């Protein structure tokens, strides 16, 4: 039997624990070598009775992530929410739909910008909108809705906490695993990668291919010294969009390797 050489294109997935399973399954099915290392974890934050009342009295409620749903669901009966429900992404919408047994609106463009472009969020003057989120998220949704005359409150149901990591050990391990592509779905994780690894590993990081999910993240990556040619923007943070981007980069990598070998 012909023994194929190992695929030199290996992918590093950095999504938080509990958010990567289906993406890892997809890589497994495509026989793409991969490593998994979350950089942050989420911890539930106690929601006060006053905040629970805010949710019940709201005209609209927006959930920014799956963690926002799951960490609130353990503290409140979400089926009691009466207001129209919105989610930034499809996976968050699915989790919210399960928790509330109600319809949830989510944009095709699974970013804050996509949410703000929804027709239902254009005429919101005088409405009280509650955003359920973690700590230190983007302010874009709140600013956009305030500019349209809405009253906006936050309910924080969780916080993101960086995991304690041995940067030198990880750097050595990833080199050994021949990581060629790194998948990152937030600016926070992108920054943590550069903070966690020693300065001596930063050039190695810059030479990887990167799958990112927004022009804003691309700007951050470029500010870290990553060349635009090394970056592939996925259509969204959805697993299939990330897999499609990984497959495109993999083809690009193998074409480059083969053309280099042909010289």
For 224-249, how does the pLDDT look when each residue is reduced to its tens digit (9 = 90+)? 999 999 999 998 888 899 999 999 99
Instruction: Give the tokens for residue 13.
Output: 């997935």
The verdict on pTM exceeding 0.85 is no
Residues 148 and 177 in one domain: no
**Does some domain include residue 5?**
no
- Where does residue 136 fall: left (phi above 0), alpha (psi -120 to 50 degrees), or beta otherwise? left
Q: Which residues span the domain enclosing 216?
A: 10-39+163-262
Q: Is 2 a residue whose pLDDT tops 60? A: no
Instruction: Give the tokens for residue 5.
Output: 């050489």
Residues 96 and 127 in one domain: yes
Range list of H helices, the chain: 21-29, 49-57, 66-73, 90-100, 112-116, 140-147, 167-176, 187-196, 202-206, 215-223, 239-262
**Does some domain include residue 63?**
yes
Query: Could you tell me which of 207, 217, 209, 223 has the C-alpha nearest to residue 253?
Result: 209
| Per-chain mean pLDDT for the chain | 92
Residues 177 and 247 in one domain: yes
Residues 131 and 177 in one domain: no
Residues 237 and 172 in one domain: yes
Q: Is 262 a residue whose pLDDT tops 60? A: no
Domain boundary, last residue among 110, 129, 160: 160
Alpha-carbon gap, residue 225 to 214, rounded angstroms = 17
Total H helices, total E strands in the chain = 11, 11
Residues 132 and 169 in one domain: no
**Does some domain include residue 136?**
yes
Residues 178 and 234 in one domain: yes
Burial 170-208 (b: 16+ CB within 10 A, else e): bbeebeeeebbbbbbbbbbbbebbbebbeeebeeebeeb
Instruction: Give the tokens for residue 198.
Output: 């020693």
β-pairing verdict for 209-212 and 231-233? parallel
> Is the dihedral angle over the CA atoms 192, 196, 202, 204 positive or is it negative?
negative
DSSP state of 7: P
**Does some domain include residue 1?**
no
For 80-102, how does the pLDDT look when each residue is reduced to its tens digit (9 = 90+)? 999 999 999 888 999 999 999 99
**Does some domain include residue 213?**
yes
pLDDT given at position 256: 79
**Does some domain include residue 186?**
yes
Residues 32 and 57 in one domain: no
Contact between residue 63 and residue 85 where contact means Cβ atoms under 8 Å apart? yes
> Is the dihedral angle over the CA atoms 104, 160, 138, 185 positive or is it negative?
negative
Alpha-carbon gap, residue 253 to 259, rounded angstroms = 10
User: Which range, of 1-15, 16-30, 63-77, 185-199, averages the lowest pLDDT?
Assistant: 1-15
Between CA 164 and CA 50, with CA 155 as vertex, the angle to 5 degrees is 125
Q: Is 196 a residue whose pLDDT tops 70? A: yes
Query: Could you tell me which of 67, 144, 156 has the C-alpha nearest to residue 113?
Result: 144
Task: Report the CATH number at residue 222.
Answer: 3.40.50.10090
Contact between residue 124 and residue 108 where contact means Cβ atoms under 8 Å apart? no
Q: Is 6 a residue whose pLDDT tops 60? A: no
**Number of domains forming the structure of the chain:** 2
pLDDT given at position 4: 39
Residues 93 and 72 in one domain: yes
pLDDT given at position 3: 41
Quick one: average pLDDT of 99-123? 94
Domain boundary, last residue among 116, 135, 160: 160
More confident residue, 237 or 70: 70
| Contacts of 49 by beta carbon, 8 Å cutoff, 6+ apart | none
**pLDDT band of 155, cuts 50, 70, 90:** very high
Residues 14 and 82 in one domain: no
Domain boundary, last residue among 143, 160, 177: 160
């Amino acid at each position: 039997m012909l023994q194929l050489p190992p695929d030199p294109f290996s992918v590093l997935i950095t999504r938080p624990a509990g958010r990567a399973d289906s993406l890892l399954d997809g890589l497994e099915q495509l026989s793409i070598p991969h490593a998994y290392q979350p950089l942050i974890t989420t911890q539930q934050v106690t929601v006060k009775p006053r905040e629970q009342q805010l949710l019940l009295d709201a005209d609209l409620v927006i959930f920014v992530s799956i963690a926002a749903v799951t960490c609130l669901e353990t503290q409140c009966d979400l089926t009691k929410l009466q207001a129209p429900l919105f989610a930034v992404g499809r996976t968050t919408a699915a989790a919210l739909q399960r928790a509330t047994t109600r319809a949830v609106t989510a944009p095709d463009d699974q970013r804050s910008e996509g949410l703000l472009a929804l027709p239902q969020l254009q005429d919101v003057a005088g409405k009280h909108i509650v955003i359920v989120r973690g700590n230190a998220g983007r302010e874009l949704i709140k600013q956009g809705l305030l500019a349209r005359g809405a009253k906006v409150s936050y309910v924080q149901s969780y916080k993101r906490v960086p995991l304690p990591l041995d940067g030198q050990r990880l750097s050595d391990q990833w080199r050994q695993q021949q990581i060629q592509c790194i998948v990152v779905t937030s600016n926070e994780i992108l920054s943590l990668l550069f903070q966690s690894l020693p300065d001596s590993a930063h050039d190695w990081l810059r030479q990887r291919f990167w799958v990112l999910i927004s022009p804003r993240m691309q700007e951050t990556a470029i500010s870290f010294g990553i060349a635009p040619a090394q970056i592939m923007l996925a259509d969204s943070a959805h697993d299939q969009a990330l897999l499609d981007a990984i497959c495109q980069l993999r083809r690009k990598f193998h074409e480059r390797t083969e053309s280099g070998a042909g010289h």
